[in-house]
Amino acid sequence: MATMSSRPGCIRVAVIDRDRRTPIEIIEWIRHRLGAEVSVVDEMHLNGVRPPFHVVVLDQGSDPKLEWLWQLREKWSEQDLPVIVVGDSDELEVAAVRAGASRFLDRSLHPGPDFLEKLVYGLACER
Protein backbone atom coordinates (compact mmCIF):
# COMPACT_ATOMS: atom_id res chain seq x y z
CA MET A 1 0.00 0.00 0.00
CA ALA A 2 1.44 3.36 -1.00
CA THR A 3 1.64 6.11 1.58
CA MET A 4 0.88 9.70 0.79
CA SER A 5 3.48 12.32 1.58
CA SER A 6 2.61 15.90 2.41
CA ARG A 7 5.92 17.02 0.93
CA PRO A 8 5.42 19.33 -2.05
CA GLY A 9 6.87 18.18 -5.38
CA CYS A 10 9.51 20.90 -5.18
CA ILE A 11 10.06 23.08 -2.14
CA ARG A 12 10.40 26.75 -3.05
CA VAL A 13 12.47 28.79 -0.60
CA ALA A 14 13.18 32.53 -0.62
CA VAL A 15 16.24 33.78 1.26
CA ILE A 16 15.95 37.51 1.95
CA ASP A 17 19.52 38.60 2.45
CA ARG A 18 20.50 42.18 1.55
CA ASP A 19 24.03 41.87 2.94
CA ARG A 20 24.64 38.39 1.50
CA ARG A 21 25.53 37.08 4.96
CA THR A 22 23.99 33.68 4.35
CA PRO A 23 26.86 31.45 3.26
CA ILE A 24 26.49 30.02 -0.23
CA GLU A 25 27.26 26.60 1.26
CA ILE A 26 24.02 26.73 3.27
CA ILE A 27 21.99 27.74 0.23
CA GLU A 28 23.57 24.96 -1.85
CA TRP A 29 22.98 22.49 1.00
CA ILE A 30 19.25 23.28 1.00
CA ARG A 31 19.14 22.99 -2.79
CA HIS A 32 20.98 19.68 -2.80
CA ARG A 33 19.50 17.98 0.27
CA LEU A 34 15.90 19.03 -0.29
CA GLY A 35 15.91 19.37 -4.05
CA ALA A 36 14.58 22.85 -3.36
CA GLU A 37 14.37 25.88 -5.58
CA VAL A 38 16.17 28.58 -3.58
CA SER A 39 15.93 32.24 -4.60
CA VAL A 40 18.21 34.73 -2.87
CA VAL A 41 16.62 38.18 -3.01
CA ASP A 42 17.47 41.61 -1.59
CA GLU A 43 13.87 42.25 -0.62
CA MET A 44 10.38 41.00 -1.23
CA HIS A 45 7.53 43.32 -2.11
CA LEU A 46 4.11 42.69 -0.62
CA ASN A 47 1.81 43.82 -3.39
CA GLY A 48 -1.31 41.89 -2.53
CA VAL A 49 -0.19 38.69 -4.22
CA ARG A 50 1.03 35.92 -1.94
CA PRO A 51 4.74 35.29 -2.53
CA PRO A 52 5.21 32.01 -4.46
CA PHE A 53 7.29 30.27 -1.82
CA HIS A 54 6.71 27.52 0.72
CA VAL A 55 9.14 29.05 3.23
CA VAL A 56 10.96 32.38 3.56
CA VAL A 57 14.32 32.58 5.35
CA LEU A 58 14.85 36.15 6.57
CA ASP A 59 18.31 37.25 7.64
CA GLN A 60 17.82 39.69 10.52
CA GLY A 61 20.42 42.02 9.02
CA SER A 62 18.11 42.52 6.04
CA ASP A 63 15.20 43.57 8.27
CA PRO A 64 16.70 44.62 11.65
CA LYS A 65 13.44 46.05 13.01
CA LEU A 66 11.39 43.21 11.50
CA GLU A 67 9.20 45.74 9.67
CA TRP A 68 8.82 43.51 6.61
CA LEU A 69 7.79 40.60 8.81
CA TRP A 70 5.17 42.72 10.61
CA GLN A 71 3.77 43.82 7.23
CA LEU A 72 3.70 40.24 5.98
CA ARG A 73 1.73 39.11 9.01
CA GLU A 74 -0.83 41.84 8.45
CA LYS A 75 -1.56 40.31 5.05
CA TRP A 76 -1.06 36.57 5.57
CA SER A 77 -1.30 34.32 8.56
CA GLU A 78 1.73 32.42 9.80
CA GLN A 79 0.37 29.18 8.35
CA ASP A 80 0.09 30.64 4.84
CA LEU A 81 3.76 31.56 4.56
CA PRO A 82 6.18 30.28 7.20
CA VAL A 83 9.14 32.56 7.92
CA ILE A 84 12.40 31.50 9.57
CA VAL A 85 14.31 34.46 11.02
CA VAL A 86 18.08 33.92 11.23
CA GLY A 87 19.91 36.14 13.70
CA ASP A 88 23.15 36.36 15.63
CA SER A 89 21.73 36.18 19.15
CA ASP A 90 18.94 34.27 20.81
CA GLU A 91 17.99 37.54 22.56
CA LEU A 92 16.28 38.49 19.29
CA GLU A 93 14.06 35.41 19.32
CA VAL A 94 11.24 36.97 21.35
CA ALA A 95 11.05 40.00 19.04
CA ALA A 96 11.06 37.75 15.97
CA VAL A 97 8.30 35.51 17.31
CA ARG A 98 6.19 38.54 18.28
CA ALA A 99 6.63 39.90 14.76
CA GLY A 100 5.32 36.63 13.36
CA ALA A 101 8.30 34.38 12.74
CA SER A 102 7.41 30.72 12.52
CA ARG A 103 10.85 29.79 13.85
CA PHE A 104 14.02 31.57 14.93
CA LEU A 105 17.50 30.27 14.22
CA ASP A 106 20.42 31.59 16.27
CA ARG A 107 23.39 31.53 13.88
CA SER A 108 25.86 31.38 16.78
CA LEU A 109 24.27 28.21 18.16
CA HIS A 110 23.62 26.53 14.80
CA PRO A 111 26.38 27.66 12.41
CA GLY A 112 25.95 24.68 10.07
CA PRO A 113 23.18 24.03 7.56
CA ASP A 114 21.66 20.92 9.17
CA PHE A 115 19.25 22.65 11.52
CA LEU A 116 18.12 25.18 8.90
CA GLU A 117 17.48 22.34 6.46
CA LYS A 118 15.30 20.54 9.02
CA LEU A 119 13.33 23.72 9.76
CA VAL A 120 12.75 24.46 6.06
CA TYR A 121 11.68 20.89 5.34
CA GLY A 122 9.40 20.68 8.38
CA LEU A 123 7.66 23.98 7.67
CA ALA A 124 7.23 23.26 3.96
CA CYS A 125 5.63 19.89 4.72
CA GLU A 126 3.35 21.27 7.46
CA ARG A 127 1.54 23.50 5.01
User: What is the rounded CA–CA span in Å between residue 122 and residue 127?
Assistant: 9
Q: CA 109, CA 70: separation in Å to the nearest integer?
A: 25
CA dist list (Å): 48 to 14, 65, 76: 17, 22, 10
Domain boundaries of the chain, sorted by first residue = 12-126
Tell me what pLDDT residue 77 has: 76
Mention every residue, 6+ apart, whose C-beta is less than 8 A from residue 94: none
Q: What's residue 34's pLDDT? A: 81
pLDDT in tens, 28-80: 888 888 888 888 888 888 777 778 899 999 988 888 899 999 988 888 877 78
Q: Considering the chain, what percentage of its residues have pLDDT values greater than 70?
A: 87
How far is the CA of 46 from the CAs of 11, 37, 100, in angstroms?
A: 21, 20, 15
pLDDT at 96 over 90: yes
Q: Which CATH number fits domain 12-126: 3.40.50.2300, 1.20.120.450, 3.40.50.80, 3.40.190.10?
A: 3.40.50.2300
Of 89, 107, 116, nearest to 15 by C-alpha is 116
Predicted structure pTM score: 0.84
Task: State the DSSP H helix or E strand holding residue 30, giving kind and residue range, or none if neither.
Answer: helix 24-34
